[in-house]
Amino acid sequence: MRRLTFVATLLLLALPGCVSTAPSLGTAAADLPSTVSIDSILAKPTLDPDVELEALSRSRSAPSLLRRSYLELYCRRPQAAIDAAAEVLYGLRKPSANEEAFARYLRAEAYTQMGKPEQARFDLERVQQLTLDAELQRRVRALTPPAGPAPVVVASIPIESRSAWSPAPENRANLEPMGQPRRVTIHHSAMYFRDTRPAACAAQIQRIQKEHMGNRDYGDIGYHFLIDPAGRIWQGRDMRYQGAHASGINNRQNIGICVLGNFLRGRGGQGPNPAQLGSMRMLVRQLMQQYGFGPDEVHCHSDFKATECPGPLMESAVAQMVHDLQRGEAGGRVAAAVAGH
């Protein structure tokens, strides 16, 4: 008993993400689930999750494995949750329809936690076929991404996937579907930043997400794309969700692009570099083509409210880009007209 408590304490020290309550192995052993239901599998742990996991570790029954999967998810260890669910799905004993439904639901939650909602989709569809449980159905609907435009822009532009910066899981309760995008808005991150190393850029994006979710209560990082000082484009918020970057209703159907750096004049300011500006143009042009809007729908944050974002050094670059896009578009129209006659 003492040794187990010691092991559990060690685990807790190693995994500070898990909420700690007074360990009580006796209760955990008595609470081994014998059924598969929302109440037995998905109930919030009343004692230390790692202690409950320890008590469940010797059982290979479907209810125990499913409960373990849930507890691993609760402790934000999605891979361990997937492993436990897979033991139910592919173990020696064929699972019942109900057991399979819970295993797939838990695996879908784990993929979502890992920032891989696409991988969750198949499991979610299967759960809907397998279960009649209204609460489980409701949870599956909440987890299923809304239908909408493809989350990633056409493959002709290299874009660092969302998982490349190891985002915290989005909070779907605070996200709304975007629908068809019809405009784009440029921002700066307002932090001096010249580092071009991928790991440093990923860390900077994580920092922005943390600020947006932690201090502003956004459902995710506010921007759909971020451009680092090396000109790499990173996927931020999933394009199926409305952004949080231009204040209230201005966010509707509005793609948010944040260029990393502080483009104010004077102390702490810097100019956007050519690599960033080149990528910004490439991305904006691609988005315009893909969603069918014109250069008049390319904005700076300062078009919507009194703000210094994206900074005068960037505003002039955006104005130049819009000018060039208008000329390019007019040129394209003339060419088409000539070709038509």
List of residues contacting Zn ion (CB under 5 A): 187, 301, 309
Q: Minimum CB separation from Zn ion for residue 148, in Å? A: 24
Q: Minimum Å distance from CB 225 to Zn ion?
A: 13
Tell me the closest approach of the beta carbon of residue 254 to Zn ion, in angstroms.
11
- 314-to-101, 221, 324 alpha-carbon distances in Å: 51, 21, 15
- The position carrying tokens 């006796």 is 26
Instruction: CB nearer to Zn ion: give 195 or 308.
Output: 308
Structure tokens at 167: 């985002």
Residue 300 C-beta: closest distance to Zn ion, Å: 8
Indicate the residue among 45 and 243 with the shorter CB distance to Zn ion: 243
In degrees, rounded to 5, the angle at the alpha carbon of residue 247 between the alpha carbons of residues 305 and 296 is 65
**Closer to Zn ion by Cβ: residue 71 or 309:** 309
Q: How far is the CB of 187 from Zn ion (least distance, A)?
A: 3
Backbone angles phi, psi at 143, to 5 degrees: -90, -20
Nearer to Zn ion, 232 or 301 (CB): 301
Tokens of 47: 């004692």
- The Cα 148–Cα 142 span in angstroms is 15
Q: Which residue, 126 or 187, has its beta carbon nearer to Zn ion? A: 187
- Give Cα 234 to chain centroid, integer Å: 12
Smallest CA-to-CA distance from 311 within 191, 215, 183 is with 191
CB of 205 vs Zn ion, minimal distance in Å: 15
- Cβ nearer to Zn ion, comparing 237 with 301: 301
Cβ-contact 175, 242 below 8 angstroms: yes
3-state class (DSSP) for residue 227: strand
Choice between 159 and 309, CB closer to Zn ion: 309
- Provide the b/e sequence for 246-283 (b: ≥16 CB within 10 Å): beeebbebbbbbbbbbbbbeeeebbebeeebbebbbbb
Q: Please, what is the minimum distance in Å from the beta carbon of residue 201 to Zn ion?
A: 19
